[in-house]
Amino acid sequence: MGQTIELTSADGFKFPAYVAQPSGKPRGALVVLQEIFGLNPHIRAVADGYAADGYFVVAPHTFHRVKPGVDLGYQEDDMKAGIGLKAAVEGLPAPGVMQDIQAAIHHAAQAGKVGIVGYCWGGLLSWRAASALQGLSASVPYYGGGMTVGDDLLCQPTVPVMVHFGAQDHWIPLDTVEAFKKAQPAVTVHVYDANHGFNCDQRGAYNEAAAKLARERTLAFFAQHLS
């Protein structure tokens, strides 16, 4: 359904992005941000799913600055590799990967208002994007590790944000979710009886009921803010 294109960041860096287009006129645009497992079949399927719902979707390869073509599975070795790649990207001089996400937003804007949705590490990046980047109209982070603590807890989003967390997520303890709610009263927060990664049907943590409800809420949120 989709195709890979090349985008160029403000610093001239070129990187690939997966683009999925709706069958008719787009109802808006979405930037989809990957987990720590790269732009793998699951993330491409997520992008295709949003395109089927009428959105023009751009999913950038956010590991490309440190390693091209990352496409991992969900085994223990994949997890270790993904954690290492995330650390490498997070260690880049500012603005690092954020300028690649900005380029993806600019490209997506040809289809109208732009929303951003990210999963796992992509959830953290989509939270940062809501306050640091231009051209967004809404952001939906899914279980973004790190966004409930430290400096990221204090981000000041400039667009409406809806966040999905799992009550059984040992990467994001519930007490930090409660702290996030207090620090970010304008953000819509949903907590599900589920684990980290509950949206991914290729992971053992997949929770069909939670994934379905979160997706319904996400689509309604984007319909409200991107129309």
- Residue 38 pLDDT exceeds 80: yes
Q: Which residues have C-beta within 8 Å of that of residue 201, sequence separation ≥ 6?
A: 42, 208, 211
- Residue 1 pLDDT exceeds 80: no
Structural domains counted in the chain = 1
Mean of pLDDT values over 190-214: 96
What percentage of the chain has pLDDT greater than the value 90?
Answer: 99
Task: Tell me which residue range forms the domain holding 40.
Answer: 2-226
Residue 136's φ and ψ, nearest 5 degrees, are -95, 150
The three-state secondary structure class of 117 is: strand
Please report, for the domain that includes residue 54, its CATH number: 3.40.50.1820
Quote the CA–CA distance of 129 and 116 in Å, as a whole number: 8
pLDDT digits (tens, 9 = 90+) for 121-161: 999 999 999 999 999 999 999 999 999 999 999 999 999 99
